[in-house]
Amino acid sequence: MRIRTEPDRDDPDRDHPVVGGPMRSVVIFDLDGVLVDSHEVMGRAFAVAYAEVVGPGTAPFAEYQRYQGLYFPEIMRRMRLPLEMEEPFVRESYRLADQVPVVDGVADLLGTLRTRGFRLAVATGKAGARARALLTTLDLIRYFDHVVGSDEVVNAKPAPDIVLRALDLLDAAPDTAVMVGDAPADIRSARSAGVTAVAATWATVDEDDLMAAGPDLVVHSPHELLPICPPVSVPDRR
């Protein structure tokens, strides 16, 4: 596990232990690529949407993946693709939800964090209803106090709105929280909200871009999050 405090701009590769500061009691997670390995199913849904709306040809899913963490309409804008792709993409995503695998070790991680007294939230590029439906299908919803989607804030990632909304719902201060994400938009959103930004590399499409976003911490598997999340003094609220 690579751990840094505030990035040293003169020596960005230097590692530092995390010391002092308020006790952490909140973890906010991105969804796709962090809690679930949705890329294969997402690719299938994207291909169907592309064929229905654009027509024959190879769906540019590799380009789509470069914008992970952003809200779907914003990705369509950046790719100059029709927003009408959203309807079939969402339809197929719902249909295939039970085929999305949970990342190995995530259920154990979430259970341990709850036992340690952490409050947990999801802040995702997905629409809130779709994120909650997926987490329910995969039996992960029970671990979370709140799930916030990009359609439920004014400005989606990389703006800080979604992280700040999660903090508000949890009645938590930024310096007691960490945000775990696998995309540059997650890291920028967390840092703008004053939250410790943790880069999760187990499903990263472009690790160089992720590191360039300036995460405070880097973890390569779910269990590596536990050393920076020791038990807190409040009991599990569930």
Identity at 82, one-letter amino acid code: P
Burial label for 154, CB within 10 Å (0-12, 13-18, 19+), is exposed
Average pLDDT, the chain: 89
* Sequence-ordered list of residues with C-beta below 8 angstroms from that of 91, at least 6 positions apart, any chain: none
pLDDT digit string, tens, across residues 213-227: 999 999 999 999 999
Q: What is the arithmetic mean of pLDDT over 169-177? A: 97
Instruction: Identify the pLDDT of residue 66.
Output: 86
Q: What is the arithmetic mean of pLDDT over 85-113? A: 96
Instruction: Identify the pLDDT of residue 115.
Output: 97
Helix, strand or coil for residue 180?
strand
Question: 73, 43, 238, 53: which is closest to 149 by C-alpha?
Answer: 73
Spans of all domains in the chain: 2-36+101-228, 39-99
Question: 188, 178, 143: which is closest to 25 by C-alpha?
Answer: 178
Instruction: Identify the pLDDT of residue 1.
Output: 42
Distance CA 219, CA 238 (A): 27
DSSP structural state of residue 57: S
The answer to whether the peptide bond before residue 73 is cis (omega within 30 degrees of 0) is no
- Least confident piece of the model among 16-25, 151-160, 196-205: 16-25
Superfamily covering domain 2-36+101-228: HAD superfamily/HAD-like (3.40.50.1000)
Distance CA 27, CA 176 (A): 9
Secondary structure (DSSP) of 15-56 = -----SSSPP-EEEE-SBTTTB--HHHHHHHHHHHHHHHT-S
Contact 220, 202 (CB under 8 A): yes
Identity at 134, one-letter amino acid code: L
Instruction: Identify the pLDDT of residue 213.
Output: 94
Identity at 187, one-letter amino acid code: I
Question: 180, 71, 161: which is closest to 125 by C-alpha?
Answer: 71
Instruction: Identify the pLDDT of residue 2.
Output: 42
Residue 16 has pLDDT above 50, yes or no: no
Q: What is the arithmetic mean of pLDDT over 107-126? A: 97
More confident residue, 235 or 105: 105
Residue 13 has pLDDT above 60, yes or no: no
Distance CA 20, CA 141 (A): 32
Residue 40 has pLDDT above 70, yes or no: yes
Distance CA 73, CA 222 (A): 30
Residue 233: pLDDT band (50, 70, 90) is: low
**For the chain, what percent of residues have pLDDT higher than 70?**
87
Residue 22 has pLDDT above 90, yes or no: no
Instruction: Identify the pLDDT of residue 70.
Output: 85
Identity at 168, one-letter amino acid code: D
Residue 69: pLDDT band (50, 70, 90) is: confident
Alpha-carbon Rg for the chain in angstroms: 17
Q: What is the arithmetic mean of pLDDT over 110-130? A: 96
More confident residue, 11 or 52: 52
